[in-house]
Structure 1
Amino acid sequence: MHLAGGTHSMNGPPLRLVPTPRANDERRVYGGQMTLDWPAVIDLVHSLDLPVESVILTGSVPLLAHGAISQVGDVDLVATGSAWDALAQRGPERDGELGDRVIDLPGGIQAFSGWHGQSADAVAARASQVDGLWVASIADVVAYKRRLGRPKDVEHLAALERWADEMTDAGATIDRDQAPLRDRADAGTRLAPVVAALAPADPIVLALPRGGVPVAAPVARALGCPLDVLVVRKLGLPTNPEYAFGAIGEGGEPWIDDRIVAAADLLREEVDAVVEKERAALASKIALYREGQPALSLDGATAIVVDDGAATGSTALAAIAVARSMGAAHVIVAVGAAPPDVLAMLSRHADRGLAAITPEPFLSVGQWYEDFTQTADDEVLAALRQ
């Protein structure tokens, strides 16, 4: 996949998800209606001369920013703090829907103090950066357009569904740019809008610790849903522990790939020894990460299993089985990097499978990260507590 009034503090690296060619005419008029492409929106926002950290693009613009649509006719934004104060000097305020305040500006711009009943802080908490500008979560866009249900909204929701289908199609991703991910946070930021575009019902994000937690955090933030861990241990070959022949998860029986066991010529007692070792490690990690708390209930929920990558898919397969055994109605798997055949295999076992990149040749997950520094237990605990 190549993705293409408050005082909330937002942090994160700028990210370009989908390259949008700059047209010769950035603003075009069809039948009296001005249309803007993404570069034109960027220029328009910068022309306001506002602190970009205090502006969140809403309405249809997030679909444009992520490449689901090619143009918009106007620009809606939520302004916070000093940005709202500055805009209030440029135009009269009026009452908006559900308690919002609205300022109409030249160039087809409407500034809101909140977003259709949501506070600016709530919108900001789920926002992400594209090309240095903050855009509202796709989850917020879906909810907004479903509620209004205008012909334009129906059209945009259909476009978003087509975009999500393309982004989760392993075959369609092969020919895209497969540059390495910067780090795990970058992977999560790329995955978040696509997961949100799938509009999962009753979502719960389940990170595979430790490396899946920093990937999962942006996904949970974009959805505004709980983040938990699903503890799964890789069963590695005795001669190469990084190469898995299976996996074991909390509350489940070991999942073992008999083909890999046969190819590695492993004896049954060797397999059993690895299983018992990892079972003990599994119990220790559950006690550490749960901190005495029970796992979140998955009954009827959509479990979104997130990891930093899948080389063989064995760990993710075990996680899918565990999530279903815990009552999940649907399972989506989202990983940072995976080869196309592994992603296709995961998609057959889960309801949906997606990866930020699907490069080949694929030797290891770490090969496709510029920074693959090991995630510490303290980082996992901090994310879960937050």
Structure 2
Amino acid sequence: MVYTDRSSAGRALGAHLEHLRASNPLVLGLPRGGVPVAAAVCEVIGGDLDVLLVRKLGVPWQPELAMGAVGEDGVRVLNPDVLTHTGVSLQEIATIEARERAELERRKRVLRGDIPPIPLEGRTVVIVDDGMATGATVVVACRVARLHRPARVVAAVPVASTEAMRRVETEADEVVCPWVPRSLGGVGGAYHDFHQLRDAEVTALLC
């Protein structure tokens, strides 16, 4: 099972989220890759579309491997298993976190501008990414969302590792993932087209 692209993955994921249609959900894509998935989910189940800004903290010599993640409102999560295995130092973590928080602020200016985020309070919030390898980014997203008192937090991705599913199930009220392979080498392997999205592609989907 391989998805054609993020939009087709979003439509497939949306079919598993039809039970949320009546709740008028707020679908939050994690930029950049989660936004086209979220936009397609929103086409299927309705509701509102917005972004929730988080950044992966990648291992210095293997950036795609998340040793943690940071989000708005100062939230941070570290993955102790990855840190133990890789031996990343506290100084390296601090350096990477500073860089990623600067990028978080840049994306906030580019993707939101002066437009305030849609309020989460009392809403059924669906947090969408293009996949979960470690789950760190989605865990941070769930914790950021909880700060705004939503009625319910649902995490939804087209593909995930078993480890990520276990981590996120402790954070979200519901986790929806149609494809959990026995071994997930990387999220990109689940797509024929997994190109690096530009800011312009993301902002076009949010207009």
| AA in 2 matched with 1:294 | P
Q: Is 1:322 the counterpart of 2:144 in the alignment?
A: yes
Deviation at 1:200, TM superposition (A): 6.0
Residues 273/212 of structure 1: CA separation in 2 closer, same or farther (3 Å cut): same
Q: Aligned partner of 2:87: which letter?
A: D
> 1:260 aligns to what?
82
Label 1:312 to 1:232 Cα distance change in 2 as closer, same or farther (>3 A): same
**In the TM superposition, what is the alpha-carbon distance from 1:360 to its structure 2 partner?**
2.5
> Is structure 2 residue 179 aligned with structure 1 residue 344?
no
- Pairs within 5 Å for 1:1-386: 179-199=1-21, 201-385=23-207
Structure 2 unpaired stretches of 5+: none
Give the TM-score normalised by structure 1: 0.52
Report the identity percentage: 39
What SS does the corresponding residue of 1:356 show, helix, strand or coil? coil
CA distance in 1, matches of 2:181, 2:79: 23
- 1:198: Cα distance to partner? 3.9
**1:305 alignment partner, SS class:** strand
On the 8 A contact 1:338/1:357 being kept in 2, the answer is yes
- Quote the offset at 1:292 in angstroms: 1.2
CA distance in 1, matches of 2:28, 2:200: 18
Question: How many matched pairs?
Answer: 207
CA deviation profile, 1:248-270 (whole Å, cap 9, x unmatched): 11113211122322221122111
Instruction: Choose 1 or 2 for highest CA Rg.
Output: 1
Cα separation, partners in 2 of 1:295 and 1:186, compared to 1, 3 Å: same
**Quick one: which amino acid aligns to residue 359 of structure 1?**
P
- The aligned amino acid for 1:182 is T
Contact 1:344 1:353 (C-alpha < 8 Å) held by counterparts: no
Q: In structure 1, what is the Cα distance between the partners aligned to 2:85 and 2:150? A: 34
Q: Deviations over 1:163-203 (max 9, x none)?
A: xxxxxxxxxxxxxxxx1111111110111122122456341
Looking at structure 1, the residues matched to 51 and 73 of structure 2 have their Cα atoms a distance apart, in angstroms, of 13
Query: What CA distance in whole angstroms lies between the structure 2 residues aligned with 1:199 and 1:226?
Result: 11
Aligned residues of 2:20 and 2:45 also touching (Cα < 8 A) = no
Letter in 1 for 2:23: A
Shift of 1:315: 0.4
Q: Distance in 2 between matches of 1:286 and 1:191?
A: 26
Contact 2:16 2:178 in 1 (8 A): no
* Separation of aligned partners in 2, 1:190 and 1:258: 33
Structure 2 length as normaliser, TM-score?
A: 0.95
Alpha-carbon displacement from aligned partner over 1:278-317 (angstroms, at most 9, x marks no partner) = 1111000011100211111001111100010000000000
**Contact kept? 2:24, 2:48, Cα under 8 Å:** no
Task: Report the AA paired with residue 301 of structure 1.
Answer: R
Distance 2:72 2:84 in 1: 26
Deviations 1:40-91 (A, max 9, x none): xxxxxxxxxxxxxxxxxxxxxxxxxxxxxxxxxxxxxxxxxxxxxxxxxxxx
Shift of 1:272: 0.8
Give the deviation of 1:347 after TM superposition. 2.3
Q: What is the RMSD of the two structures over their aligned residues, measured on CA atoms?
A: 1.4
Question: Does the 8 Å CA contact 2:21/2:46 hold for their aligned counterparts?
Answer: no
Q: Distance in 2 between matches of 1:252 and 1:337?
A: 27
Is the Cα–Cα contact under 8 Å of residues 57 and 97 in structure 2 kept in the other structure? yes
Distance 2:199 2:108 in 1: 12
